[in-house]
Structures are given as C-alpha cells and as structure tokens.
C-alpha cells in the first residue's frame, strides 16, 4: 500500500512503515494537484499536518483510493473529519505525541515575557553597545514565576502537562474545564520520586480574576474564548499565552488591552490569519511571538511519526 506524507514524517515513522511493507512517498504535492496525484499514484494513506487541507472535494475525488487520513498533531480543523468517516475513510490524529513540547513552549514564552527577553533580544544587537545602561534600566521590572498563579483554560493532556511544569516552578495552578471534575497531576522526577497534586477546575470568572497568567489549551478553531469581556475580568498587568488555535483569543481585544496597559504582555504561537498574521500583531511591542511551533521539537516529531505508523499498520497492515 502507498503512503503520501504530504507534510512530512519523521525518519523513524517512515522506517516503521516501510518495514511493515508500505511504500512511503514524502514528496510535497501542491494542494491543487493533490487529488490527481493521489489517484494517479493510487495512494491509500494521506498524512498531513496543518498545511495541507483535506476538504469534501478532495475526499470525493479520491474515494476510490484513499483509505486513511492521518493528522500529525492534535487539531484536525484542516480536515472534514465527519465527512471522511461517513465515506468510510479512517481519520486519525496523534493527540498525545506533542503534549510535552507544547507545554514547554508555554514556559519558554512565559519566562521570556516576565523578563522581557522578547524585547531585549531585538534591542541588544541594535543598541547594546551604545545604550547598555538604559536597556538594563528598561528591563529592571522583571518578575519571578515562583508564587504566581497560572490559570489554565482547558485541562486535558496539554493543560495538565502545563500544570506539572508550573508546580515545578512553585506556582499555584487554577484550571477551567467543564468536562473535568478533578484531576490528579503527577510530577515525576529524574530519580524516580513523585509528587502528586489534585486540581479541581473552577469557573472561568474565578480563574480569570485570580490568575497572573492565563494560558489557553482548547481544541476548537475559530471560536473566541477570551475576548474583551474576559480580558476585562482579568487582573491588571496579567499576561496571556495562546498556543492553542488562532482566534481562541481575540487579537483585536488583546492588542487594545496591551496598548491601554490593562495587560502587561502576551505570547502567541498561533494566529487568526496564518500563515500571514496581521502586521499590527507582529509589530506590537508587548508580544512574544513564534510561528506555530508548539509541536516542532525533534522528540515530538519522532513520536508523531511512530504513532501514525502504528495506527496505519494496525488498520491497514
């Protein structure tokens, strides 16, 4: 059987599939040529990440060949999942593979925000030799994470992984999740020791009002969860981190709150208009930015590839 990994696959995933007898093609096919390529080459498995779109027209055009659609990562908003399944095509993502990578990115941004590294890294090459003392003074109002409260909106796999790191920092954790009554978060150490914490999700209003930082981890795309009303309920000088989906945090309301001093800083890994984010978002002096790299670690990519391979072999091998 033939596999087209249109957005790539890790070497370990490719090797695992080939060892099971699958032919794996990693050619990047343009969206408009994808249907013809699948049919002409009799591709049975299409693997994508966020770049390739798998909509009804593509599904209809490839029904004679396509048996499996794999999404490397969590969100599947670029795939018409229900329609594909109605047509008998298996659709599978890898929800656990990138959990740790996303959680660590949250804290990469969070640590950089609280010490203004996102701004210092731009200013130092330009002004470090001539305005060293001024820059040192500008960044003198950094804050420590220990003792602060982080509010986690969405307390699934990633949210709970964020909580683990937060507990390690000595932070207080609050959570919002209507589907979780209580969660035990186990913090495992290198020497085999373990400390367990119990987190009971609270109301959105309570978490917003008492958190120094809000981080969002819900799967929905295009649904605004944090808008002007919610930002108004947050503590003054708080920060927001969005590594979930563009639009979950209202970018207009966020920029307005930053410009007016309601919020001190924000971190965005995802944007409304990917892959062309709004320039005013990119140019804000209060934002720490990255280009949707939550799962972009070598370890996560390796896990994604092998997890997809396991699903394909189980279904079609």
What b/e readout covers 67-89, taking b as 16+ CB neighbours within 10 angstroms?
bbbbbbbbbbebbbbeebeeeeb
Phi, psi of 173 (to 5 degrees): -115, 130
Q: Which two tokens stand for residue 90?
A: 């298996």
Q: Active site includes 245?
A: yes
Is residue 314 part of the annotated active site? The answer reads no
**Residues 156 and 217: beta-carbon distance below 8 Å:** yes
User: Which residue out of 37, 274, 299, 311 is catalytically annotated?
Assistant: 274
User: Active site includes 37?
Assistant: no
Marked catalytic residue, from 109, 217, 245, 264: 245
* Phi, psi of 205, rounded to the nearest 5 degrees: -60, -45
Burial of 201-212, coded b for 16+ CB within 10 Å and e otherwise, reads beebeebbeebb
Question: At how many degrees (to 10) do helices 298-316 and 11-19 cross?
Answer: 20
**What backbone torsions phi and psi does residue 241 show, to the nearest 5 degrees?**
-125, 130
Distance CA 234, CA 240 (A): 10
Separation of alpha carbons 100 and 161, rounded Å: 6
Q: Which residues, including other chains, have CB under 8 Å from residue 39's CB and lie 6 or more apart? A: 61, 62, 64, 65
Q: Is 96 helix (H, G, I), strand (E, B) or coil?
A: coil
> One of 71, 292, 303, 307 is an active-site residue; which one?
292
Asked if residue 168 lies in contact with residue 154, where contact means CB atoms within 8 angstroms, the answer is no
Residues labelled as active-site residues? 245, 274, 292
């Amino acid at each position: 059987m033939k596999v087209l990994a249109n957005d790539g696959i890790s070497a370990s995933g490719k090797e695992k599939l080939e060892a099971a007898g699958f032919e794996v093609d990693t050619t990047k096919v343009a969206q408009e040529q994808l249907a013809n390529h699948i049919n002409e080459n009799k591709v049975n498995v299409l693997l994508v990440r966020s770049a390739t779109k798998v909509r009804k027209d593509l599904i209809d055009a490839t029904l004679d060949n396509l048996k499996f659609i794999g999404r490397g990562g969590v969100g599947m908003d670029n795939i018409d999942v229900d329609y594909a399944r109605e047509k008998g095509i298996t659709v599978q993502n890898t929800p656990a593979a990138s959990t740790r990578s996303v959680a660590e990115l949250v804290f990469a941004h969070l640590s950089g925000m609280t010490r203004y590294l996102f701004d210092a890294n731009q200013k130092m090459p330009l002004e470090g030799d001539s305005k060293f003392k001024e820059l040192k003074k500008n960044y003198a109002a950094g804050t420590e994470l220990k003792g602060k409260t982080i509010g986690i909106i969405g307390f699934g796999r990633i949210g709970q992984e964020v909580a683990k790191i937060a507990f390690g920092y000595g932070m207080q954790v609050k959570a919002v999740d209507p589907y979780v009554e209580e969660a035990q978060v186990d913090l495992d150490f290198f020497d085999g020791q373990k400390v367990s914490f119990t987190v009971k999700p609270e109301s959105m209003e309570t978490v917003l009002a008492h958190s120094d930082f809000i981080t969002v981890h819900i799967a929905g795309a295009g649904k605004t969860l944090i808008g002007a009303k919610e930002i108004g309920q947050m503590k003054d000088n708080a920060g927001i981190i969005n590594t979930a989906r563009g639009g979950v945090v209202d970018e207009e309301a966020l920029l307005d709150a930053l410009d007016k001093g309601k919020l001190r800083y924000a971190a965005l890994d995802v944007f409304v208009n990917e892959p062309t984010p709004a320039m005013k978002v990119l140019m804000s002096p209060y934002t720490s930015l990255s280009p949707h790299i939550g799962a972009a670690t070598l370890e996560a990519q390796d896990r994604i590839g092998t997890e997809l391979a396991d699903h394909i072999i189980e279904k079609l091998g």
